[in-house]
Amino acid sequence: MTTNAVPQGQSSSQSLLTNLKPLLVDVAVPLGSYYLLKGGFGMSTFAALAWSSVVPALRTVWSAVRERQANGLAALILVVNVVGLVLSFVSGDPRLMLAKDGAVSSTVGIGILVSVALGKPMMTAGLKPFLVKGNVAKEAAWERLAAGSAAGSVTFRRHERAYSVVWGVALLAECVARVVGAYTIPVDTMVWLGTVFLISAIVIGMVVGGGLAAEPMERLLSEEAKGAVEGAEPAVALAK
């Protein structure tokens, strides 16, 4: 018996799209609209940030009013945009201009770490689609592990928190490196080195987070999904 059977009326691609929807709506749309408005339509940084804040602002309010809970991703993107709007008024000192870019990384990093402390690791929304891969059996396994009803739930949730912690720390470290570099490294060098810092933080988050948390979580998902299928087979045989 296969572990990736899909319920009638729902394909694996539809299931994957459902999991990716929070990332697409809460992250990709506001970030994409910012770059489109700024680069494609020539808007100022302030105007592009303001307009790209509309979707996360509406999503945050909608979640608070309709669902009576905070939309972590949308709220974080909104906070980042607000920080960018405030910092867009800072001008004059080129080193300060370089250092202020670290505020975005620190805002995201702090937001991620706070979400872990609150018991709702924010990076889970980005990790789940890539571990589940639209597999309905793994989706069900994820829900059981996350809810605490599976044997490996404690370990699974510990790894889930660890994944977000790795990303939060990596982004905060990138902020510190950017600020220190802005005041100790020649401006011309720091202009391109800041991008290197950001890429390095992303790579560290992917590699360390993957080895420390994502890979163990994927194994737990596979074991839980397989166990559920094997447990269902005797029940089917008895029913016959």
Tell me, letter by letter, the H, E, C secondary structure of the chain.
Answer: CCCCCCCCCCCHHHHHHHHHHHHHHHHHHHHHHHHHHHHHCCCCHHHHHHHHCHHHHHHHHHHHHHHCCCCHHHHHHHHHHHHHHHHCCCCCCHHHHHHHCHHHHHHHHHHHHHHHHCCCCCCHHHHHHHHHCCCHHHHHHHHHHHHCCCCCHHHHHHHHHHHHHHHHHHHHHHHHHHHHHHHHCCHHHHHHHHHHHHHHHHHHHHHHHHHHHHHHHHHHHHHHHHHHHHHHHHHHHHHC
Structure tokens at 93: 């000192």
Decide which of 233 and 122 is more confident.
122
Residue 141 has pLDDT above 60, yes or no: yes
Residue 2 lies in a domain: no
Span 127-147, mean pLDDT?
89
**pLDDT per residue over 21-45, tens digit each?**
665 666 667 767 777 887 788 887 6
**pLDDT per residue over 120-135, tens digit each?**
898 888 888 889 888 8
Residue 154 lies in a domain: yes
What per-residue confidence (pLDDT) applies to 151? 86
pLDDT band at 214 (very low <50, low <70, confident <90, very high): very high
Range of the domain at 48: 12-89
End position of a domain, from candidates 56, 89, 122: 89
Residue 5 has pLDDT above 70, yes or no: no
Residues 113 and 190 placed together within one structural domain of the fold: yes
Kindly report which listed range (71-80, 156-165, 197-206, 218-227) carries the lowest average pLDDT score: 71-80
Neighbour-count burial for 97-132, b at 16+ CB within 10 Å, e otherwise? ebbbbbbbbbbbbbbbbebbeeeebbbbbbbbbebb
Residues 80 and 123 placed together within one structural domain of the fold: no
Residues 84 and 64 placed together within one structural domain of the fold: yes
Percentage of residues of the chain with pLDDT beyond 70: 68
**Average pLDDT of every residue of the chain:** 77
What per-residue confidence (pLDDT) applies to 31? 67
Q: Name the CA dihedral angle for 220, 226, 229, 233, rounded to a multiple of 10 degrees.
A: -130
**pLDDT per residue over 77-120, tens digit each?**
677 667 666 766 665 566 776 777 677 778 888 888 998 998 88
Q: How many domains does the chain have?
A: 2
Residue 126 lies in a domain: yes
